[in-house]
């Protein structure tokens, strides 16, 4: 059985400041470890500032297009040049607010990998879809969009994050058992095409993760860490979550 290194990723969304960069960078130094990957996803203008503090950084989204006449968009190559290592693709807020389809998300995934960024593919169902027992259908379609475009092997240089839409920023959290069930489904789905890849794939849970629930979530066999929203803006909360992830190694 592969030993997957846990990861804690902080998504600042449209929050943050130079002051927060300094606070979080100093806090992260105290919990950095070879046993844990820590990544922060600040707004675009703060990528360089965090990277200069020796924090591993990513962008919250990426354009599917190369440089050109796309006002307001940011090219993946520039993000890479600024020192980013990762990018989120398909976060539910991008899907719901900005109308990104599964096909567009697959294009962003492809563009990110083309320039050498590691995409974190966000998947998850709405509350209505869960109540209609469509969770697995929705998540499978979101993953298949990438596999159909690039082949299952493309997932080797990626991370998947399961974020039930109904648990993002709502204070609701999937129970450890609910989250584990979907993570297990994702891993088994990918294993049907490539069992070795599935065993090595890092799958994160996101959705109102905090220092009180992270330990139980991360203890689940198929949950390899978390994609953290609001708690990533508070140094004490974020580092506590990192410590709980280290405790699973």
Average pLDDT over residues 35-45: 97
Selecting among 64, 91, 183, 211, the annotated active-site residue is 91
Residue numbers of the domain that contains 167 = 19-246
Q: Is residue 8 part of a domain?
A: no
Q: Is residue 14 part of a domain?
A: no
Q: Is residue 58 part of a domain?
A: yes
Q: Is residue 2 part of a domain?
A: no
CATH number for the domain harbouring residue 38: 3.20.20.70
The pLDDT value recorded for residue 249 is 55
Clarify whether 91 is annotated catalytic: yes
Q: Is residue 5 part of a domain?
A: no
Q: Is residue 25 part of a domain?
A: yes
Average pLDDT over residues 14-40: 96
Left if phi > 0, otherwise alpha if psi is -120 to 50, otherwise beta: which for 151?
left
Q: Is residue 237 part of a domain?
A: yes
H helix count then E strand count, the chain: 11, 8
Number of domains present in the structure of the chain: 1
The pLDDT value recorded for residue 177 is 95
The string of pLDDT tens digits covering residues 100-129 is: 999 999 999 999 999 999 999 999 999 999
Q: Binding site: what residues are annotated? A: 11-13, 169, 208, 229-230
Average pLDDT over residues 180-204: 98
Selecting among 64, 100, 125, 163, the annotated active-site residue is 163
Name the more confident of 18 and 3: 18
| pTM for this prediction | 0.96
Q: Binding site for substrate: what residues are annotated? A: 11-13, 169, 208, 229-230
């Amino acid at each position: 059985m592969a030993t997957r290194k846990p990861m804690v990723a902080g998504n600042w969304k449209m929050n943050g400041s130079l002051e927060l960069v300094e606070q979080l960078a100093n806090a992260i130094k105290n919990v950095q470890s070879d046993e844990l990957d820590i990544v922060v996803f600040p707004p675009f203008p703060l990528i360089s500032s965090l990277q200069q503090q020796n924090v591993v950084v990513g962008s919250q989204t990426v354009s599917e297009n190369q440089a050109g006449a796309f006002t307001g968009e940011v090219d993946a190559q520039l993000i890479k040049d600024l020192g980013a290592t990762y990018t989120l693709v398909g976060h539910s807020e991008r899907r719901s607010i900005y109308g990104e389809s599964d096909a567009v998300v697959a294009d962003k995934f492809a563009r990110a990998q083309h320039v050498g960024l590691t995409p974190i593919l966000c998947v998850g169902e709405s509350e209505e879809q869960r109540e209609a027992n469509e969770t697995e259908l929705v998540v499978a379609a979101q993953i298949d969009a990438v596999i159909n475009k690039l082949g299952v092997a493309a997932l080797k240089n990626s991370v998947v994050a399961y974020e039930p839409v109904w648990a993002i920023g709502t204070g609701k959290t999937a129970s450890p058992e609910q989250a584990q069930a979907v993570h297990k489904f994702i891993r088994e789905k990918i294993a049907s095409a490539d069992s070795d890849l599935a065993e090595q794939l890092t799958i994160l849970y996101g959705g109102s993760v905090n220092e009180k629930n992270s330990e139980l979530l991360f203890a689940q066999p198929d949950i390899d860490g978390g994609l953290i929203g609001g708690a990533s803006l508070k140094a004490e909360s974020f580092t506590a979550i990192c410590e709980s992830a280290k405790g699973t190694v």
